[in-house]
């Protein structure tokens, strides 16, 4: 079981690094807001994070 947690943590850290490398600090802020909003079941915070990510992904 600890191996599964380690693998998931490595994937999350890798994804965060990819987002930061691709979209800069605003991308990491949006990703954190989205993930914290989903964990806390806070629709406003999750929505803000999602909107920022969509704005960064739009051409």
Tell me the pLDDT tens digit for each residue of 5-58.
899 889 988 888 887 788 888 988 998 899 899 999 999 999 999 999 899 888
Which one, of 10, 7, 32, lies nearest residue 19 by Cα? 32
Name residues whose C-beta falls within 8 Å of residue 22's C-beta, 6 or more positions apart in sequence: none
How crowded is residue 23: how many other Cβ atoms within 10 Å of its Cβ?
17
**What is the total residue count of the chain?**
59
In this prediction the pTM is 0.69
Please report the pLDDT score of residue 17 as a whole number. 84
């Amino acid at each position: 079981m600890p191996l599964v947690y380690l693998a998931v943590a490595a994937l999350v850290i890798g994804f965060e690094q990819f987002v930061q490398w691709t979209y800069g600090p605003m991308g990491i802020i949006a990703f954190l807001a989205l993930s914290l909003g989903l964990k806390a079941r806070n629709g406003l915070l999750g929505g803000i994070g999602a909107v920022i990510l969509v704005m960064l992904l739009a051409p």
